[in-house]
Amino acid sequence: MQKRKLGNSNLEVSAIGLGCMGMSYGFGPAGEKSEMIKVMRAAIEQGVTFFDTAEVYGPYTNEELVGEALAPYRNQVVIATKFGFDIVDGKMVGKNSRPGHIRQAVEGSLKRLKVEVIDLLYQHRVDPNVPIEDVAGTVKDLVQEGKVKHFGLSEAGAQTIRRAHAVQPVTALQSEYSLWTRQHEKEIIPTIEELGIGLVAFSPLGKGFLTGKIDENSKFAEGDIRNTLPRYTEEARKANQALINLIVQFAERKNATPAQVALAWVLAQKPWIVPIPGTTKLHRLTENNGAADIQFTPDELQEIEAASAQIHVVGTRYTEQMEKSTGL
């Protein structure tokens, strides 16, 4: 698989990474451990070098799983994890990016991931109670101490990114980006392009919707976050099929699957954008990685742009409460 550099940094990763959250958390029951390890190791065989986790996924269990799966391949992979929440009795209870808490989180992540240094450390969500300069300064100290290589932010606003970057260079912003989540194109993407920061696109398949496998009749397991998302109500899923129809047209034209077209579109936007689709299935892993081989002509991209501009996406991506508190 081709490689990409995240912004102006020297952090080179596979063009498509693997989001590991769903193996332990967020989409119903956790996957069977040996199977999940098999998927991660198959990803390495297919050229994936970039793996994403966080301490709140589980909590903790996803980092442990990733640490065990990737331990034999440590020198071949880049592991990203995140801090920024209080965890009490196995539940995420609120944002916490105080310097002492960051250090505590990093020590825990290092142990669970079985590594001596974290390749890419994100603040999971901006903490309104802690100046971003204090957060960036703490990570800067951790970089100097050899515990962290690169600093990242997740779902941060343009001014926050600028303020953090002035203290400790930000290598990557991780935010949701896909054909149906494009709000970052107005201000965020121009800002990070100006500053030389890469974009790591989570949910590039719209939590599965853009694969074309989900319609208004689909049912989700208990504990699956999609049961609570406004975009995943039956009415919204029915209305949003218009976007799937567009993706399917291009999939037929490209002899590809809808998932591959959706991922290839993300890849085509900028050479420093890296999508991190998640999966628990080997055949989906192979399908997703095949997107790296799909090329769009400028005319095709313009055609997708014009057609998608006519489609109104129904439903917000999260509830208002989730926007305030979620670690997803």
Beta strand 170-176 pairing with 91-95: unpaired
Q: Checking DSSP bridges between strand 148-154 and strand 170-176, what pairing results, if any?
A: parallel
Q: What does residue 93 show for φ and ψ, rounded to 5 degrees? A: -115, -5
Number of residues written out for the chain: 328
Closest CA to 276 of 190, 164, 185, 152: 152
d(CA 230, CA 316): 6
Angstrom distance (rounded) from CA 87 to CA 92: 4
Q: Which residues pair with 172 in a beta bridge?
A: 152, 198
Does the annotation mark 25 as catalytic? no
Give the relative orientation of helices 188-195 and 158-167 as an angle to the nearest 10 degrees.
Answer: 20
- From 274, 299, 298, 271, select the one nearest 288 (Cα to Cα): 274
Position 154, amino acid: S
Alpha-carbon dihedral sign for residues 256, 25, 50, 267 = positive
Amino acid at 152: G
Looking at 57, 60, 177, 318, which residue is catalytic? Answer: 57
Cα 109 to chain center, whole Å?
18
Beta pairing partners, 95: 85
What the block records as the tokens of 155 is 């779902």
The owner of tokens 């390890």 is 37
- Of 317, 100, 325, 126, the closest CA to residue 226 belongs to 317
Query: Is the previous residue joined to 59 through a cis bond, with omega within 30 degrees of 0?
Result: yes
Phi, psi of 148 (to 5 degrees): -140, 140
- Residues marked as catalytic: 57
